[in-house]
Amino acid sequence: MVETIPSFGLGTFRVDAAKTTNAVKSALQLGYRHIDTAQYYNNEAAVGQGVRESGVARDAIWVTTKVWWERLSHDALVASLTDSHAKLDIGTIDLALVHWPSPDGAVPIAETLAAMQEAQKLGLIRHYGVSNFTAPLLEEALKAPGGDAIVTNQIEVSPFLANRALVDATQKLGVKVTAYMPLGEGRAHTDATLKAIAGKHGATPAQVTFAWLLSRDIVVLSASTNPEHQKANWDAQKLKLDADDIAKIDALDEGKRNANPPFAPKW
Ligand SMILES: NC(=O)c1ccc[n+]([C@@H]2O[C@H](COP(=O)([O-])OP(=O)(O)OC[C@H]3O[C@@H](n4cnc5c(N)ncnc54)[C@H](OP(=O)(O)O)[C@@H]3O)[C@@H](O)[C@H]2O)c1
């Protein structure tokens, strides 16, 4: 079993179920060992098929899914993870996240965490964690029974949203940060600073972005259905940036948030 969350994963948001199986298979064959999906993405069954058909041993792979915010009450959460478990069909799911906190705390986090523990006892999931939690919400969750087992807070982080206060608070609380939408909805590819740093290292702006996140001890999720992009993204783990590069990327932060739906917490 993979015991800790692997630092570089394949995302599957906005990937059609029809393309997901091949994307998962090619990523696993390239060396990825962490796949991120969600109930909301409607592609859990295709992710599971990719895992099963990849030729990579199931116990070498970490699969995360996420429970939609409308299913956070005890029975709804356990029922939804029973469904995810059946759709993925890969045995116990490695990690289940609360996709978004319950708006206005309608479902107490203690109830949701108790349900996550129930899902563990039933063999549906091995670990649980949260996503899109602000620092106060994360602190509240950590204090609730079972809160000390939260493995990650998955949040938006890109060069244009360094999200420094939340990243620092999460890391100080001993919780791993996982970054989503790392390329700022494609903006990283054309940013002049990232292009210049990429040129200096014979790399791509996407690789520079991922190396910057890894240098901050942040787990990276990058989504691609294109095996060439998947390979290039994976190779970013070999790129080492210098202090000057990192300072220049840090200076790109403008607090530009892309994921901010009506049910998001008050950031
Ligand atoms: N917890 C949450 O609320 C939340 C929210 C959003 C996302 N996520 C997770 O985080 C993952 C990553 O976020 P994301 O999918 O929005 O963003 P992303 O990985 O930054 O962007 C994906 C897009 O970038 C393109 N791309 C990737 N690598 C490329 C490369 N080397 N060159 C050119 N284009 C490239 C892909 O196209 P090609 O397929 O053509 O390569 C795809 O259209 C998601 O898939 C999901 O698993 C979580």
pLDDT exceeding 70 applies to what percent of the chain?
100
- Evaluate: CB of 209 within 6 angstroms of ligand 1: no
Average pLDDT, the chain: 98
**Ligand 1: residue whose CA is nearest its atom 11:** 11
Residue 102 per-residue DSSP state: P
Residue 55 per-residue DSSP state: -
Chain Cα centroid distance, residue 41: 13
Q: Which atom of ligand 1 approaches the CA of 66 most closely?
A: 1
CA of 257 to the centre of ligand 1 (A): 15
Which of 226, 235, 258 has most ligand 1 atoms within 8 Å of CB, for mutation? 226
pLDDT of res. 239:
98
Confidence at 115, pLDDT banded by 50, 70, 90: very high
CA–CA separation, 64 and 13 (whole Å): 12
Average pLDDT in the 184-208 region? 98
Average pLDDT in the 236-263 region? 97
pLDDT of res. 155:
98
Domains in the chain (CATH in brackets) are 8-250 (3.20.20.100)
Confidence at 165, pLDDT banded by 50, 70, 90: very high
Average pLDDT in the 92-111 region? 98
CA of 235 to the centre of ligand 1 (A): 16
C-beta of residue 163 within 8 angstroms of C-beta of residue 134? no
CA–CA separation, 243 and 245 (whole Å): 5
CA of 225 to the centre of ligand 1 (A): 9
CA of 167 to the centre of ligand 1 (A): 20
Q: Which atom of ligand 1 approaches the CA of 233 most closely?
A: 31
**Ligand 1: residue whose CA is nearest its atom 45:** 11
Confidence at 259, pLDDT banded by 50, 70, 90: very high
List active site positions: 41
Q: Which among 113, 39, 115, 116 has a CA at the least distance from the CA of 74?
A: 115
Which of 8, 13, 189 has most ligand 1 atoms within 8 Å of CB, for mutation? 13
- Evaluate: CB of 224 within 6 angstroms of ligand 1: yes
